[in-house]
Amino acid sequence: QKEVEQDPGPLSVPEGAIVSLNCTYSNSAFQYFMWYRQYSRKGPELLMYTYSSGNKEDGRFTAQVDKSSKYISLFIRDSQPSDSATYLCAMRIAGANNLFFGTGTRLTVIP
């Protein structure tokens, strides 16, 4: 079993839709949770960074962490064609720098 599981998609939604992206994990020691966006042939760009359980909102993006269920989510409201990219979840243990990644979900927002 992989430490981090993420549905690779692809996921296609119409412009303006609410997008829900999810990851599950098995290691209860993970404390820091991140979502990265990666455009084709570019490096991952940090979108959201959260510690432990709870919600965090930044503009159209909301990250949720449920440590009891070992489940994290990223919601994108009012999705735009420019949101079309691969979204990677990542997480790490406190005191460690190395990240454990999901496989990434490829999202396409159709105008």
Partner 1 sequence: GAVVSQHPSRVICKSGTSVKIECRSLDFQATTMFWYRQFPKQSLMLMATSNEGSKATYEQGVEKDKFLINHASLTLSTLTVTSAHPEDSSFYICSASDSLSPLHFGNGTRLTVT
Residues that bind partner 1 (CB under 8 A): 32, 34, 36, 41-46, 49, 88, 90, 97-99, 101-104, 106
Nearest distance from C-beta of residue 106 to partner 1, angstroms: 8
Write the CB contacts of 10 (distance below 8 Å, at least 6 apart in sequence). Answer: 105, 106, 107, 108
Q: Minimum distance between the CB of residue 103 and partner 1, rounded to whole angstroms?
A: 5
Residue with Cβ nearer partner 1 (18 or 94): 94
Query: By C-beta, is 5 or 17 nearer to partner 1?
Result: 5
Do 109 and 79 touch, CB atoms closer than 8 A? yes
Is the Cβ of residue 19 or residue 89 nearer to partner 1 in the bound state? 89
User: Which of 94, 96, 92, 86 minimizes the C-alpha distance to 37?
Assistant: 86
CB of 46 to partner 1, least distance (A): 6
| Nearer of residues 102 and 107 to partner 1, judged by Cβ | 102
Give the distance from CA 21 to its chain's centroid.
Answer: 6
Q: How far is Cα 36 from Cα 47, in angstroms, rounded to an integer?
A: 5
